[in-house]
Amino acid sequence: MLVAGVDSSTQSCKVVLCDADDGVVVSSGSAPHPDGTECDPAAWWDALQAAGDGLLQRAEAVGVAGQQHGMIVLDGDGEVVRPALLWNDLRSAAAAAELIVEAGGPQWWARHTGSVPAASFTVTKLRWLAEHEPDNAARAVAVLLPHDWLTWRLRGGMGERERGQRATPPGGRAGPQELVEMVTDRGDASGTGYFSPAAGTWLPDVLTTAVGHSMLLPRIAHPAEVVGHTAWGAAVSAGTGDNMGAALGLGLQPGDVVVSIGTSGTAFAVSSTPAADPSGAVCGFADATGRFLPLVCTVNAGLVMSAIAALLGTDLAGLDALALKAQPGAQGITLLPYLDGERTPNRPEATGVLDGLTTHNARPENLARAAIEAVLASLAEAADSLTEHGVTCQRVLLVGGGARSPAVCALAPGIFGAPVLVPEPGEYVALGAARQAAWALSGRAEPPDWPARPAKQYDGPAEPQVRQRHVALRDQTASWPEG
């Protein structure tokens, strides 16, 4: 029996077709998404059709894991009101600050929602919509996350124009209650800012305060629930957020800390208890199994390395080769990698800072090394934040596109000060979505026990001076004017 898992990320859609018993991938496909920080969700649907062509119809069940936080608002006919605002759209930074103050401060948010909202969170985007596009806000009757919308579409949900003409019910136009039921899971819901991970319930008053009126919210499905079926009869699981999908795909256990280097950077772990960090560094998310997923996210990760590679007139392979020629510490050069603003720490208007550059060390290999050290040091600080909230780090699992970099793998143990395991390359978000689909089919209490993927271990001497210089530069620039 085959199951399909979908990873609808910022950059692309990936589909894997797996054996439901052991998770072996029998086929896969991918299709790109448009660039930018907002997107018409129809482009995601088109990419799913392209990536899943010849795959989805072979599956007995389908699960979708999607980029977190994105805001999709629908009108009463199920039409998308405006292009979705994505997690990496930081225009709602001022709205985040407003909402934090209005509710009584970060302690209130941490206690009730598990997280202090930054510009990434859906609740801040709804406030931005109300303030900057009031007509669109007034039209919006429902709000979904990217994976919610794709799950809805797989189950037959669509707007009035796509459904075609239908008889108008007595009393006027169709209302949202007549649309195909919308569902989500507690993992992805926990990144909205209007959900309580500890209680497992929506906080509709928080949403109403943000946007100015009540809105239809998707039903929270159970982790292993079949929430509907596709047109070809495949079961559809609840789906989840991308980080929750990765945790499920990797089969995370207590003591594992995942560091993912992609467009963004994340550090996360599974936990039996909810986190509530009033500093805002740790997001107290839920996972896709009924547990919790404390997570720290940075805006800047892989794109920092791409930008420095371009600056040096090379590609990522060239950046690796240069960095491996340099000594630890890049002969005194330190890069603060906040090239596109930053979420952790919360500096949405920040820019990058290069410190310690002299005529003696101004060499391509030192700048290449400084770029990779910067990304790793930033994520090592993120991982350390988790330990302050009950997470024990026995090993670091390095995943994402950055894990394919020889220089990243070689430098990571020294900067993290711990052994680093790099699982074999794989689409772990999509694998997690497929594992959830297999779980929904099985009807069992626990996800199927898929064998762990092979991993290579990297070791090396600790290089605490790299972290120390990064922290010093971060703290030194904290009071600088941004922009």
Structure confidence at residue 479 (pLDDT)? 86
- Is 259 within a domain? no
- Is 436 within a domain? no
DSSP 8-class letter at 158: -
Q: What is the 3-state secondary structure (H, E, C) of 264-332?
A: CEEEECCECCCCCCCCCCCEEEECCCCCEEEEEEECCCHHHHHHHHHHCCCCHHHHHHHHCCCCCCHHH
Given 89, 242, 256, 340, the catalytic residue? 242
Instruction: List, in order, residues 6 or more apart from 265 with CB less than 8 Å away.
Output: 259, 297, 298, 300, 301, 302, 375, 378, 379, 382, 402
358 CB burial (10 A radius; 0-12, 13-18, 19+)? exposed
| Residue 242 bears catalytic tag | yes
239: helix, strand or coil: coil
Output phi, psi for 149, to 5 deg. -65, -40
Q: Is the pLDDT of residue 145 over 80?
A: yes
* Paired residues of 220 in beta bridges: 184
Contact 311, 370 (CB under 8 A): no
Confidence of residue 62 (pLDDT cuts 50, 70, 90): very high
Q: Is the pLDDT of residue 421 over 70?
A: yes
Structure confidence at residue 483 (pLDDT)? 61
**How high is the mean pLDDT of the chain?**
93
CATH number at residue 49: 3.30.420.40
Structure tokens given for 283? 């997001």
Percent of the chain scoring above 70 in pLDDT? 96
Q: Is the pLDDT of residue 165 over 50?
A: no
- Is 167 within a domain? yes
- Lowest mean per-residue pLDDT among 112-121, 358-367, 388-397: 388-397
pLDDT tens, residue by residue, 171-210: 344 444 467 899 999 999 999 999 999 999 999 999 999 9
Residue 202 and residue 219: Cα distance in Å, rounded?
9
419 CB burial (10 A radius; 0-12, 13-18, 19+)? middle
Q: Is the pLDDT of residue 50 over 50?
A: yes
42: helix, strand or coil: helix
Question: Which H or E run contains 156?
Answer: none
23: helix, strand or coil: coil
Residue 239 and residue 65: Cα distance in Å, rounded?
5
**Start-end of H helices in 192-257:** 204-211, 242-250
pLDDT tens, residue by residue, 213-235: 999 999 999 999 999 999 999 99
Structure confidence at residue 193 (pLDDT)? 98
Structure confidence at residue 137 (pLDDT)? 98
Tally of structural domains, the chain: 1
- Is 295 within a domain? no
**Residue range 275-296: average pLDDT?**
95
Please give the residue range of the domain that contains residue 55: 2-242
- Is 196 within a domain? yes
> Helices 406-416 and 316-323: crossing angle, nearest 10°?
50
Percent of the chain scoring above 90 in pLDDT? 86
- Is 381 within a domain? no
Structure confidence at residue 264 (pLDDT)? 85
Torsion-angle region of residue 232: left (phi > 0), alpha (psi -120 to 50) or beta?
alpha
Whether the bond into 348 is cis, omega within 30 of 0: no
Structure tokens given for 54? 């010849």
Structure confidence at residue 160 (pLDDT)? 65
Residue 99 and residue 120: Cα distance in Å, rounded?
13
First-to-last C-alpha distance (Å) of the chain: 54
- Is 139 within a domain? yes
Structure confidence at residue 176 (pLDDT)? 47
Among the listed residues 42, 45, 16, 10, the one whose alpha carbon sits nearest the alpha carbon of residue 30: 16
**Residue range 392-413: average pLDDT?**
93
Q: Is the pLDDT of residue 167 over 50?
A: no
Structure confidence at residue 178 (pLDDT)? 60
- Is 63 within a domain? yes
**Residue range 421-428: average pLDDT?**
92
